[in-house]
Amino acid sequence: MFSIDSRSRVAIYEQLVQNIIGLIARGVLQPDDQLPSVRSLARDLGINPNTVQKAYQELEAKGMIYQAAGRGSFIAPGESLTDSIVQQKLKEARPPILSAKKAGVPRERILALVDEIYEKE
């Protein structure tokens, strides 16, 4: 379910955050679904438990998960959570699209590239 690229320049905790956000956005993780415990996920991925804890803390700070004392971590309730994640990702795409537009790339070429990326992934 989770994948970590040890050769990536992106910090491991950030990769884990991105993994979980992606699973929420795609509907794989639903509100109130329980996440693996810090220890078990760290063991499965072969990483330090503090790294998993840091990722969970960041997700909690963003309101994407919540902690239940003695029970673990869960996906935050609310149907708008998925919409919020999608909106955030779309906003991240804005600067490169505007940059391409300013460079004179035709709209059709940009849309074709989006279609190509969308179909391949």
**Residue 97 to residue 71: CA distance in whole angstroms:** 43
- CATH node for 12-75: 1.10.10.10
| Among 85, 79, 43, CA closest to 62 | 85
Domain extents for the chain?
12-75, 80-120
The tens place of each residue's pLDDT in the chain, 121 residues long, gives 888 998 999 999 999 999 998 898 888 999 999 999 999 999 999 999 999 999 999 999 988 899 999 999 999 987 556 666 777 777 888 889 999 999 999 999 999 988 888 888 6
| Among 37, 41, 83, 75, CA closest to 59 | 75
Question: 50-72 b/e with 16+ CB inside 10 Å = b?
Answer: ebbbbbbebbeeeebbeeeeeee
Neighbours of 100 (CB within 10 A): 15
